[in-house]
Amino acid sequence: MKTYECVVIYAPTVGTDVLESSTKKYTEVITSRGGKFTGVDDWGKRSLAYEIAFHREGFYHFYKFDGDGEIINELNRQMRIDENVIRHMIVRDEPKPEITARRPEGAGAPSQTTEEDRR
């Protein structure tokens, strides 16, 4: 299974009960299909960068879960038909590459050039 992140923007007119029921619904979609729900982070009500469906604000929720393509397809389908969701995006959470310190070529010790290299 791969790890995914999902950001959902809900309409600013929804109440906390709708947000909680949506979280339960999407958690159930993930777990019923063999996925593992890692957690949800409520980012609260924020201003949007641009107007979406005549809204200038929205409630942001961040979901993290492990799953497969079937779960992604079902979440996309359910979020598209949910009238309280004004925008959503699911992306794969890829591990960050390890950064190792390397000395660039030519750095450090003086180069040993020969007479042939200079020509």
Q: Which residues are within 8 A (CB) of 94 and not within 5 positions of it... i.e. 6 or more apart?
A: none
| Confidence at residue 111, expressed as pLDDT on a 0 to 100 scale | 57
pLDDT of residue 99: 75
With both helix axes pointing from N to C terminus, report the angle between 69-81 and 16-32 in degrees, rounded to the nearest 10.
150
Segment 105-116 mean pLDDT: 60
Q: What is the mean pLDDT of residues 91-102?
A: 80
- pLDDT tens-digit readout, 53-86: 899 999 999 999 999 999 999 999 999 999 999 9
Give the number of other Cβ atoms within 10 Å of residue 109's Cβ: 7
d(CA 119, CA 10): 68
Domains within the chain, CATH numbers bracketed: 2-92 (3.30.70.60)
